[in-house]
């Protein structure tokens, strides 16, 4: 078809995909879910509380509980078909210096951020293997590879996601499944708003871009990794951090 200069480039018609984002009630997860809804996909979330963006199917659950994850996937599959794109986004912090960090604070963070992502990826992989295609996107953090004082638990959980994505890539890469890590820097959400003002200012000064990012800037990268253009990217760690973690 001939195009005039003012017409937008035609986009190839694509079947809507079944997308599951954990924790889409707020912050980065919400922006990611909104982005997939806008692209015409069938979007669902496993979430604990709060309200959801328009067009997102919500299933209440908890990533710390295997039965809850399984039940949520079963419900989403019944409504939207097998999950083709998983975004493991749910995450928590329990900051404190290592010397004073309790076993409970360490275990709780690992249970949500690392084991929770594993529970979702394992469950999602069943359908993806059958479909012979799938995208697993794990939301890590710049501190996973950069380190952060007071975040031994959080950084360990986020670094673990890199080994997870790379192992999934080696297990399932031949079956049309990609697994990648997105490592955001400081994003304007409730998680960073909770930081004291002086720490926020210090972080801002250390970021080459000189600012925090908006959740939508992470969502765009996630959407790219789920797109056809990213079919040959797997086991990668994609920073969205304004240059903060360069070289790490």
What's the per-residue H, E or C state across the chain? CCCCCCCCCCCCCCCCCEEEEECCCCHHHHHHHHHHHHCCCEEEEEECCCCCCCCEEEEECCCCCHHHHHHHHHHHHHHHCCCCEEEECCCCCCCCCHHHCCHHHHHHHHHHHHHHHHHHHHHHHHHHHHHCCEEEEEECCCHHHHCCCCCHHHHHHHHHHHHHHHHHHHHHHHHCEEEEEEEECCECCHHHHCCCHHHHHHHHHHCCCCCCECHHHHHHHHHHHCCHHHCCCCCCEEEECCCCCCCC
Q: Work out whether 184 is an interface residue with ligand NDP (CB under 6 A).
A: yes
* Residue of 124, 186, 219, 230 interacting with ligand NDP (CB under 6 A): 186
Least CB distance to ligand NDP at residue 77 (A):
18
Q: Work out whether 195 is an interface residue with ligand NDP (CB under 6 A).
A: no
Minimum CB distance to ligand NDP smaller for 41 or for 62: 62
The verdict on whether 154 is a catalytic residue reads yes
* Residue of 17, 19, 20, 25 interacting with ligand NDP (CB under 6 A): 25
Least CB distance to ligand NDP at residue 125 (A):
19
Q: Which stretch binds ligand NDP (CB under 6 A): 43-51, 79-87, 220-228, 229-237?
A: 43-51
Strand 134-139 versus strand 85-88 pairing type: parallel
**Phi then psi for 77, rounded to 5 degrees?**
-60, -40
Catalytic residue among 146, 154, 203, 232: 154
Binding to ligand NDP by CB under 6 A, coded x per residue (else -) over 58-97, reads ----xxx------------------------xxxx-----
# of chain residues touching ligand NDP (CB under 6 A): 28
Q: Work out whether 242 is an interface residue with ligand NDP (CB under 6 A).
A: no
Least CB distance to ligand NDP at residue 53 (A):
12
Binding to ligand NDP by CB under 6 A, coded x per residue (else -) over 133-152, reads ------x-x-----------
Interacting residues with ligand NDP (CB under 6 A):
22-23, 25-29, 47-50, 62-64, 89-92, 112, 139, 141, 184, 186-187, 189-192
């Amino acid at each position: 078809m001939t195009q005039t200069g003012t017409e937008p480039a035609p986009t190839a018609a694509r079947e809507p995909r079944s997308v599951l984002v954990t924790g889409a009630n707020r912050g980065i997860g919400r922006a990611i879910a909104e982005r997939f809804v806008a692209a015409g996909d069938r979007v669902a979330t496993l979430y604990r509380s709060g309200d959801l963006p328009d067009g997102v199917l919500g299933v209440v659950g908890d990533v710390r509980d295997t039965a809850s994850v399984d039940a949520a996937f079963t419900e989403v599959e019944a409504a939207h078909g097998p999950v083709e794109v998983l975004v493991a986004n749910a995450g928590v912090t329990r900051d404190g210096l290592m010397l004073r960090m309790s076993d409970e604070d360490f275990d709780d963070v690992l249970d949500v951020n690392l084991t929770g992502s594993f529970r979702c990826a394992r469950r999602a992989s069943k359908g993806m293997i059958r479909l012979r295609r799938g995208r697993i996107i794990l939301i890590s953090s710049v501190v996973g590879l950069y380190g952060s004082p007071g975040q031994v638990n959080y950084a360990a959980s986020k670094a673990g996601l890199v080994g997870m994505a790379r192992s999934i890539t080696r297990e399932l890469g031949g079956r049309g499944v990609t697994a990648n890590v997105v490592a955001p820097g400081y994003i304007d959400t409730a998680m960073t708003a909770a930081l004291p003002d002086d720490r926020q200012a210090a972080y801002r000064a250390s970021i080459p871009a000189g600012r925090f990012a908006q959740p939508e800037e992470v969502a765009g990268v996630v959407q790219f990794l789920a797109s056809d253009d990213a079919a040959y990217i797997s086991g990668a760690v994609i920073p969205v951090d304004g240059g903060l973690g360069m070289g790490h």
